Amino acid sequence: MNIPFFNYPAHFNAHEEAFVAIFRDIGRRGAFIMQQDLRSFEARIAEYCGVKHALGVGNATDGLEMLLKAGGIEPGDEVIFCAHTMVATAGAIHALGAVPVPCETGPDHMMDVDSARAAITGKTRAIMPTQLNGRVCDMDAIQALAAEHDLLIVEDSAQGLGAKFKGRSAGSFGVGGCISFYPAKNLGCLGDGGMVLTNDSEIYHHILCQRDHGRDPETGDVVIWGRNSRLDNIQAGILDYLFDDYDGIISRRRHIAALYDEYLQGVGELVRPPAPGADELHFDVFQNYEIEAERRDELKSFLAQRGIGTLMQWGGKAVHEFPNLGITASLPFTERTMRRSLMLPLNMTITDEQVGIVSQSVKEFYAND
């Protein structure tokens, strides 16, 4: 049996002919950087997410850094983030000379707003919720906290394309958010790629310049210090094509999550993520299916022996647990969560039958106690 966690060649093989046609078309036009394919893809994503502006960038991490910079974050400013996130969230803060301040994750693995509140000091300028696993945080509570303390909200929506809270899309709250198109993402390109979403025209214009060496596209003049972080036109063409079926991708992922939820019910040693439709506030797109499990490491080895691939997010450590980063914090709930979390395979190539086999194997592991 072989049920990989993610099958990169299959991602390519499933669309090979279409991809080659896109390479050929864009290559023959010589349309490699900031061309129509990018502009039309940006317009589609903006409409889909219900935001005024979407800007293709090199990757989500660059997008986060550019958003923080456009929002006026300066060296020494403190920015609160949830420690159960990719190091990229904190890295974007650190890159500006600002101070990443971690807070606890909650029982649904989203930012714990009480813990975020407790982390606020006189130097706090922004809060960065991560829309983890394709789910949006309680943005009512985060927006209320931000309003109370005059904080910018910058969303790490790398995993959240199409996820909603109260009908509003990830990336549409606060000053803006960033989507990642890393190959394993729900919408994944053939390399690196990202998108900044914002409703703020000044922020949009700032990042439009930042991503292209600080040049104002209207005049060509360099108006600010910038960088090179553009979404390649070929990647935009590929993403635009894959996006045609994005609703299908989301329903398939929600279907797989619903199957896991059904099959794993009653296994007392597990905590399952909220099922699709579990409440009316959230619309989850299941970038990941992250369970909590007793004896997680043994379960992982047991499944590996059966050829079933699983993954511990971030290698099983919260951001503040990497000692070389110099973030000192004690976040016991997050630390406990990281020791127990495991992602089961959920991707576009796994079959319903394989979801059944994975679930059955999990049950057998605990039944053998």
Ligand X SMILES: Cc1ncc(COP(=O)(O)O)c(C=O)c1O
**Site for ligand X contains 229 (CB under 6 A):** no
Q: Which is nearer to ligand X, 180 or 186 (CB)?
A: 180
**Under DSSP, is residue 251 helix (H, G, I), strand (E, B) or coil?**
helix
Q: Which is nearer to ligand X, 152 or 170 (CB)?
A: 170
Q: Which is nearer to ligand X, 210 or 361 (CB)?
A: 210
* Interface with ligand X in residues 10-69 (CB under 6 A): 59-61
- Shortest separation between residue 362's beta carbon and ligand X, angstroms: 24
Q: What is the DSSP string of 181-194?
A: --TTSSS--SS--E
Compute CA 226 distance to the chain's CA centroid, rounded to the nearest angstrom.
24
* Interface with ligand X in residues 87-126 (CB under 6 A): 88-89
Q: What is the DSSP string of 37-101?
A: HHHHHHHHHHHHHT-SEEEEES-HHHHHHHHHHHTT--TT-EEEEESSS-HHHHHHHHHTT-EEE
- Shortest separation between residue 194's beta carbon and ligand X, angstroms: 5
β-pair type (168-169, 289-293) = unpaired
Q: Which is nearer to ligand X, 314 or 366 (CB)?
A: 314
- Shortest separation between residue 191's beta carbon and ligand X, angstroms: 10
Identify which of 318, 316, 341, 340 has the alpha carbon closest to the alpha carbon of residue 102. 318
Q: Give the integer Cα–Cα distance in Å for 211 and 42.
A: 14
Q: How far lies 345's CA from each of 6, 215, 308, in Å?
A: 7, 43, 8
- Shortest separation between residue 315's beta carbon and ligand X, angstroms: 12
The alpha carbon dihedral of 287, 289, 295, 298 has a sign of: negative
* Interface with ligand X in residues 135-164 (CB under 6 A): 156, 158-159
Letters for 66-85 (x = contact with ligand X by CB under 6 A, - = none) are: -------------------x
- Shortest separation between residue 88's beta carbon and ligand X, angstroms: 4
For ligand X, the binding residue among 19, 41, 182, 246 (CB under 6 A) is 182
| Token pair listed for 356 | 């059944």
Q: Give the integer Cα–Cα distance in Å for 235 and 247.
A: 20
* Interface with ligand X in residues 183-212 (CB under 6 A): 192, 194
Q: Which is nearer to ligand X, 82 or 271 (CB)?
A: 82
For ligand X, the binding residue among 86, 119, 203, 264 (CB under 6 A) is 86
- Shortest separation between residue 178's beta carbon and ligand X, angstroms: 7
- Shortest separation between residue 93's beta carbon and ligand X, angstroms: 12
**How many residues of this chain bind ligand X (CB under 6 A)?**
15
Q: Which is nearer to ligand X, 130 or 310 (CB)?
A: 130
- Shortest separation between residue 195's beta carbon and ligand X, angstroms: 9
Q: Give the integer Cα–Cα distance in Å for 330 and 221.
A: 47
Q: Give the integer Cα–Cα distance in Å for 172 and 159.
A: 14
Q: Which is nearer to ligand X, 345 or 362 (CB)?
A: 345
For ligand X, the binding residue among 105, 115, 130, 210 (CB under 6 A) is 130
In DSSP terms, 155 is beta-bridged to: 177
Q: How many residues does the chain have?
A: 369
Identify which of 141, 157, 137, 160 has the alpha carbon closest to the alpha carbon of residue 149. 141
Rule CB under 6 A: which residues touch ligand X?
Answer: 59-61, 85-86, 88-89, 130, 156, 158-159, 180, 182, 192, 194
